Amino acid sequence: MSDPTQHAAPEIRASNDDRYSRQILFRGIGRDGQSKLQVASVAIVGCGATGSALAGLLGRAGVGTLRIIDRDYVEPSNLQRQSLFDESDAAESLPKAIAAARKIAALNSQIVVEPKVEDLVPGNIEVLLEECSLILDGTDNFETRYLINDYAVARSLPWIYSAAVGSYGVTLNILPARTACLACIFPDSPRGIVETCETSGILNSAVNLVASIAATEALKLLVGGIDAPTLRHTLLSFDVWTNEHAEISAAKRRVDCRACGQHDFIHLAGEGRPHITLCGRNSVQIHERQRPIDFTEMDRRLQPHGLVRHNDFVLKFWRDPYEMTLFPDGRAIIKGTTDTAVARSLYARFVGS
């Protein structure tokens, strides 16, 4: 049976003129630019607030193939800012990649959407990002961003860093061999107390601002290439509440940069990458691999121990005060603790060691 989220991307012809007519009229894109968008392939890593806004914008713009990579599922608290999801997605705990792909397929049946319900890690990054000419950041952590940066610099692929928290948004185009990379600007992960959506909240307007800017830069890249004269070569930040904004030049690379200067790709090599990590929302993620889960059998096993329900994509298990979301590849998100030992113990007890 064919996947309802997959659609062949046809050549641009008269039937498409009306759909993209206002975009084709824009001098920066035109008919030739629209044709380039139609054959482009873009990966969006993370489909939360920023990622879902990026996916929606590029899907409507007619980018031919969108690969959406996300490890998480839809919750009610997402609906305030994550534009591709609705209450039914949250009620079903649908994986965000699946829910996003369905929405985009409904709003533009002329493009290909490839949902990947996976956590981007060194072991799968080659497969998940292959054949994509541009990578967009919709993640919520620097560990994954440094991994993307290593991969993109090593392969001379452009990518766009984007982040939003509170009323603040920031974005940077990273053009290997032409601009500074993420490690040039941020040699180390932020230390000390770091604001997150969990602690500081977030305005959906800040999300939409940074996503709109990043999506526009993506269109410039896809239409004009990495030498497009209007591409921004700065780290741009804007606070929509205070109206404070700043730009820092990223036009020059640091000679001593670990990634683009010395080609020391420690994140791509997976050095020191933990198998159990904090996952926000008072949660811990268990990064299991090579443990395929039969949801029907697991449902039967867990019934005596708590409340269980599942669909084709996730299994949810509640045992007060914890909630476990189990994915088909064995990965799990355990909610209700930030103690990795407790999370591992629960996983070993109910799924296996």
Q: Which helix (H) or strand (E) holds 137?
A: strand 134-137
Contact 117, 327 (CB under 8 A): yes
Closest CA to 265 of 158, 152, 180, 188: 152
Q: Catalytic one among 132, 181, 184, 197?
A: 197
What is the maximal distance between C-alpha atoms in the chain? Answer: 64
Residues 100, 97: Cα–Cα separation, whole Å: 5
Count CA atoms closer than 13 A to 197's CA, side-chain side.
22
197 catalytic residue (yes or no): yes
Letter string b/e over residues 42-63, b meaning 16 or more CB atoms within 10 A of that residue's CB: bbbbbbbbbbbbbbbbbbbbbb
Phi, psi of 316 (to 5 degrees): -110, 135
41-45 vs 65-69, strand pairing mode: parallel
Phi, psi of 60 (to 5 degrees): -70, -30
Phi, psi of 39 (to 5 degrees): -105, 5
Residues 235, 171: Cα–Cα separation, whole Å: 6
The CA–CA distances, whole Å, from 164 to 6, 169, 171 equal 30, 4, 9
Q: Which residues are catalytic?
A: 197
